[in-house]
Each structure stands twice: as C-alpha cells, then as structure tokens.
Chain A
Amino acid sequence: AQKVTQAQTEISVVEKEDVTLDCVYETRDTTYYLFWYKQPPSGELVFLIRRNSFDEQNEISGRYSWNFQKSTSSFNFTITASQVVDSAVYFCALSESGTYKYIFGTGTRLKVLA
C-alpha cells in the first residue's frame, strides 16, 4: 500500500532560522515519483519539486534543498534562512508508476515569525 507521512503538524520558527520538513513514504513499487507542494492561504498548490526513485541526488534551489534517501524512505525539505513569505502548508506527495494519482501527506503548517 502507498502512504505518505508528514509527522510534523505545525512548526514555528523565527525569521532567518533554517527549518526542515520531514516526509516518509511507503510504496512497494520500485519506480515512483515524489513531490513537494506549497499551499499558501490562497489555497492553490504550488509545485516545488519532483524527484524520481532512481535519482537520489540532493537538490538545491536557492534557499530550498531536498534530501532524498531511499534507505530510510524519506524525502525531506529544508528551507535555509526562512522568511515570513515561506509561511504556508507544505505537502509531500507520492505517485507510483502506472498510476497517475498523487498520494498526499497531511501537510506541515510552517509559521515564520518576524
């Protein structure tokens, strides 16, 4: 069965702190995709990254970085030097090969305080 777990319900940090959002997934498939989306108060889901199961290279994009570890079935997301505009709910999602539906976690609400 496929499942995505985001154990952190809510995190509060002070501006300029680094913060890591955890994501643990379960799948029996060897080929799958992992995603992170950001959901600001407006409601839309903003695509941040997609990673396929064969690419374990970490990725950095500006202040964002992602650490994919198949050995622990984790795909963690770090924001460096957080800003108030980073405040949102962040979702991790899984998509198995041959199926096109995304399985989302329950999300982590990040509050960045000025």
Chain B
Amino acid sequence: ETGVTQSPTHLIKTRGQQVTLRCSSQSGHNTVSWYQQALGQGPQFIFQYYREEENGRGNFPPRFSGLQFPNYSSELNVNALELDDSALYLCASSYHPKQPQHFGDGTRLSIL
C-alpha cells in the first residue's frame, strides 16, 4: 500500500512569488487535507477536499487555494508569498472526512 507522498521535499521562494505544492493520496483515499506547520508549532488546518470539492477551510486568506483531481491527488497553491508563509506544509489523506488522517512527509517551504 502506497502512503501519502508530497513533492517537492524542499522549496525556496522569494516574497511575492507563487508556489504549487503537490500531494498524492494513499491508495483508496478520497479525502485530502492540507496543514501549515510553523517552526515549533502544531499543524494548522488550511482546507480539506472531498471528492474534488472543498469540504472545509481554516483561517487562511484566499491567496491559499487548492485543487483535488479525479485520481484524488491534490495541489496547494499560494500566491503573493510572504515571509510568514515559511513553514512545513503537510498533506493528509483518509478514506472519508471522518476517518483518521494519514500524513505525508511534508514540503518545507522557505521564503527569502
């Protein structure tokens, strides 16, 4: 069984740029959630997608957007990057929104 995979592993961007992070769900999972984890903090919920529709959103501005594809893989897009966007971005998938979420290794994003 393939777990949750995220790409890239690390990324360096400058302020004002745009970035796309990718996530492949664990086999059989139709739900994907994205979290932002700042250094020394717990993960913060960004949003969740269930069967290609947004199913809930945390307190993040609209410049954080996402997509889920028919194969249930997902993208997180962030526009107009700010220094505070530097963090580990975690993707999690599950069989259903109410089932335990299984996390990937994350993408570490650094903004210069």
Residues on A lying within 8 angstroms of B by beta carbon are: 4, 35, 37, 42-47, 50, 91, 93, 99-107
A-facing residues in B53-112 (Cβ within 8 Å): 55-56, 58, 88, 90, 92, 97-98, 100-106, 108
Q: Given A43-B88, A45-B90, A91-B42, check contact A100 B98 (CB 8 Å).
A: yes
Total interface residues on B, CB under 8 Å, equals: 27
Q: B30 in the interface, Cβ–Cβ < 8 Å?
A: no
Residues of B within 8 A of A101 (CB): 33, 45, 48, 56, 58
- Closest approach, in angstroms, between the C-beta of B49 and any C-beta of chain A? 10
CB distance from A75 to the nearest CB of B (A): 15
Say whether chain B's binding surface is mostly helix, strand, loop, or mixed: strand
Report which B residues bind A (CB closer than 8 A).
31, 33, 35, 40-45, 48, 50, 55-56, 58, 88, 90, 92, 97-98, 100-106, 108
B43 and A45 form a contact (CB under 8 A)? yes
Ranked nearest first, the 3 interchain pairs of A and B with the lowest CB-CB distance are A104-B42, A101-B45, A45-B103
Please give me the residue from chain A that is nearest to B94 by CB atom. Answer: A100
Candidate in B58, B100, B106 with the most chain A CB atoms within 10 angstroms: B100
Other A-B pairs beyond A43-B106, A102-B33, A107-B42, 18, CB < 8 Å: A4-B42, A35-B100, A44-B104, A44-B105, A45-B103, A47-B103, A50-B100, A93-B42, A99-B56, A100-B31, A100-B33, A100-B55, A100-B98, A101-B48, A102-B35, A102-B43, A104-B44, A106-B42
